[in-house]
Structure 1
């Protein structure tokens, strides 16, 4: 009898472990843009930084190959936590958005109860706000930076959009049969693990970058690319703030059938920047455009960085 009980308990534990994938709940950023209230602009993850007792938030930004920390904000903690300050490297600078910044070496970051990582994060001097460390309530959540793709090498990222939660795990712990997969490419193999998804327009394949930090639009593209798949008459315009720069964005309406794998996409508003500032990036990397969270808000998606495949959970609608 005891042996039978032991076997039953062991089976239950195995089943629990098989289905015991840990998730962290995330928060959405909602804000007004050009006088228009827009929901779900960005994903904020709950994180712990080193051994600091405070509660922090970091944006999930798959459009960045490097995790970044807001220099003004983290600097508020240096006097009280000198061990943290000693990790700041002002000699070996790193590049971010075409500028050089100090980096914080071997920074321990814990994402919810899901994932621990150790990163060399860019410290963006002049960004963020200083906080009153000694008088700050431990319940106050502090936005301190963003998580990039550097922490996801050979990992699996699950984003459960309907339930606002995420997980980072190993491929061996994922139930792959739950998902329909499409292979993706990295922007530059072994150098830049931003991912490119294969969209099709009237049967022609388009390489579209997936960026969780660009979730305002279902699809954006250089002007000439947008006009390849859209009517030329503008149906929308917005004045947005991008890294401190104000710029006008024009929206067009798609007029071709767009697909992502077997998923037929609805008619989209496709936005472009008339300044053509980033056209060289798209052209030189053979990238058609940029998509983000907005196309997948009703889906559970999995990004398998080890096997280079993007999955959508079956029967989620």
Structure 2
């Protein structure tokens, strides 16, 4: 009997150690590399643009949030999709090749070496940004649009731009501002909740009905108010609500989303924001699902709940605010 108890205790200990070890393994595996982005010349401010998704039914007017950038040697304004769900900035191979062909003076820094570009400089809202090293994905448009006013997207600006800085997004005026610290004039008019830039992912301690676990703010999920698990989705949707199904291209991988109306609201301090809709997604990889479980994530918030508002992402202060 003593031997059996010893065996059972040993098995239990191995399971516990395996769970703890698996947790730290997943944390290390998905930890982002050292921040390669440097920003000078703050404060900076500019106007962002919305890119529509006309393939959706109905069409989504605010599918992607684009910020304008100027690349040395290039007379054309280019754009980066702003995506807090991306832990670091990346560029797209096809648009870079098109830029090199059209603007040879911009070429040297835009030539990938083993799927990586080095020392890329660009200006954003009056600030000067430099990426010492960034991945290049086999992605994007092959040619510049004939309409010079049409946005030409050359990459993604990730959450590395938030590290050590404050970002203010004014959705009604479509303006973004980067600061070293939150202006007092805005802080006095905001309701704040805790924010953690964990693994360069924006984690909020906002409240939802029946929620357990943090929420991640993912500006790259603009078309969705809240992405959550299927079980939570079923709890939050209105009874007998119509469901909209859509295929989504995520970095070249096709996923399927299911969206339905909800009466649920997001609460941040004294501020309550109706969600309008809630969604869940299928087609994620096993690694993505394991990361979600390890992080304890309750869901991902897109831009939609904050439409008509100004938000503050204060990474140094560890807080997320909605201006009243």
TM-score if structure 1 supplies the norm length?
A: 0.77
Q: Residue 283 of structure 1 aligns with which residue?
A: 293
CA contact (8 A) 1:198 1:261 kept: no
Greater strand content = 1
Q: 1:203 to 1:127 in 2, by over 3 A?
A: closer
Aligned length: 277
Q: Residue 159 of structure 2 aligns with which residue?
A: 149
Secondary structure at the aligned position of 1:154 is classed as coil
* Alpha-carbon distance in 2 for matches of 1:252, 1:59: 26
Q: Residue 129 of structure 2 aligns with which residue?
A: 117
* Alpha-carbon distance in 2 for matches of 1:144, 1:276: 25
Which of 76, 87, 101 pairs up with 2:98?
76
* Alpha-carbon distance in 1 for matches of 2:265, 2:97: 50
Which of 251, 256, 261 pairs up with 2:259?
251
Q: 1:274 to 1:199 in 2, by over 3 A?
A: same
CA contact (8 A) 1:252 1:271 kept: yes
2:248 matches 1:241: yes
* Alpha-carbon distance in 2 for matches of 1:266, 1:86: 45
* Alpha-carbon distance in 2 for matches of 1:273, 1:152: 27
Q: Residue 219 of structure 1 aligns with which residue?
A: 226
Which of 208, 217, 235 pairs up with 1:210?
217
Q: Residue 94 of structure 1 aligns with which residue?
A: none
Post-superposition shift, 1:238?
Answer: 2.1
Secondary structure at the aligned position of 1:249 is classed as strand
Q: Residue 118 of structure 2 aligns with which residue?
A: 105
* Alpha-carbon distance in 2 for matches of 1:232, 1:284: 31
Q: Residue 41 of structure 1 aligns with which residue?
A: 63
Post-superposition shift, 1:265?
Answer: 3.3
Post-superposition shift, 1:231?
Answer: 5.4
**5+ residue gaps, structure 1:** 1-19, 92-101
Secondary structure at the aligned position of 1:184 is classed as strand
* Alpha-carbon distance in 2 for matches of 1:305, 1:147: 16
Secondary structure at the aligned position of 2:274 is classed as coil
CA contact (8 A) 1:89 1:103 kept: yes
CA contact (8 A) 2:74 2:105 kept: no
Secondary structure at the aligned position of 2:116 is classed as strand
Q: Residue 98 of structure 1 aligns with which residue?
A: none
Post-superposition shift, 1:89?
Answer: 5.0
Aligned-residue CA RMSD in angstroms?
A: 2.8
CA contact (8 A) 1:184 1:309 kept: yes
Post-superposition shift, 1:272?
Answer: 0.9
Which of 163, 166, 170 pairs up with 1:160?
170
Greater helix content = 2
* Alpha-carbon distance in 1 for matches of 2:110, 2:52: 33
CA contact (8 A) 2:166 2:182 kept: no
Q: 1:267 to 1:117 in 2, by over 3 A?
A: closer
Q: Residue 58 of structure 1 aligns with which residue?
A: 80
TM-score if structure 2 supplies the norm length?
A: 0.75
